[in-house]
Amino acid sequence: MLVTAGGLSQGGQSWVNPKHPLFLVPDPALSDIFRAKFCAGLKKAGLLRFAPAAVWKLRWVVHSQHAGRGDKVLDYLGRYVFRIAIANSRLESLDNGIVGFRYRDNKTQQICHVSLPATEFIHRFLQHVPPKGMTKVRYYGIFSPACRSQLERARLLLIPTPAATASTAPAPPENSAASPTSPPPLMRCPHCQTGTLFLLETLPSCRTRSP
């Protein structure tokens, strides 16, 4: 699931950042919300009576983890959403009803080899085939096709203007010999000394939560 870190204001005139700079939604609050939504869904479907009453008194666990910048997350999700369960290049052998294939272990990053009976291989493969009529990708909120204008508005608000970036560049010292019309010096990357730095925003410090 991809969620924007913020959203448009009520009138759509500005972009509102998250209240806390280090996270979007706290996990404990998200756990309570998910439990309530799940309970409401079962009740609406007429299935609530089949769930033990003690389930709703327990603390539910919702695990959310930062997965990187948007481009990397899209690349990661795209490999699973728009590709088949296993590529032909990973199939290594088919001998006497035994299928051999390889995969990469996520923890060790090592290539592993597996041999399975053909029936078991087909069983595992079919678990990745979506049911007929299932929509792989759904869009809600600002990404909904009905909200094209709001999405374009958000993109315009999130693009730093040249005036804003130029104003953040350090001004020359008062005793500098530079003429008033000369451009201010650029901030260079302290590591490579070649990249140009533009100050977009200063995030407030937080002492109540570890980075």
Per-10-residue mean pLDDT for the chain, 211 residues long? 84 87 81 94 95 92 77 80 86 95 90 95 91 87 90 87 53 48 64 74 64 47
Predicted TM-score of the model (pTM)? 0.47
- 126 lies in a domain? yes
Only one residue has tokens 């390889």, namely 102
Which residues, other chains included, contact 170 with Cβ-Cβ below 8 Å and sequence gap of 6+? 184, 185, 187
- 166 lies in a domain? no
Cα angle value 7/13/16 (rounded, 5°): 30
Range of the domain at 92: 86-133
Q: How many domains does the chain contain in total? A: 1
pLDDT of the residue at 34: 93
Residue 181 has φ and ψ, to the nearest 5°, of: -90, -10
How far, in Å, CA of 19 to CA of 5, rounded?
A: 10
Candidates 85, 26, 31, 89; CA nearest to 56 is 31
pLDDT of the residue at 211: 47
How far, in Å, CA of 67 to CA of 24, rounded?
A: 13
How far, in Å, CA of 127 to CA of 62, rounded?
A: 24
How far, in Å, CA of 201 to CA of 155, rounded?
A: 17
- 210 lies in a domain? no
pLDDT of the residue at 95: 94
- 105 lies in a domain? yes
Candidates 141, 142, 144, 168; CA nearest to 157 is 142
Which is it for the CA torsion 141, 142, 144, 145, positive or negative? positive
Strands 187-188 and 196-197: antiparallel
- 19 lies in a domain? no
- 92 lies in a domain? yes
CB 157 within 8 A of CB 151: no
- 93 lies in a domain? yes
- 97 lies in a domain? yes
Q: Is 187 helix (H, G, I), strand (E, B) or coil?
A: strand
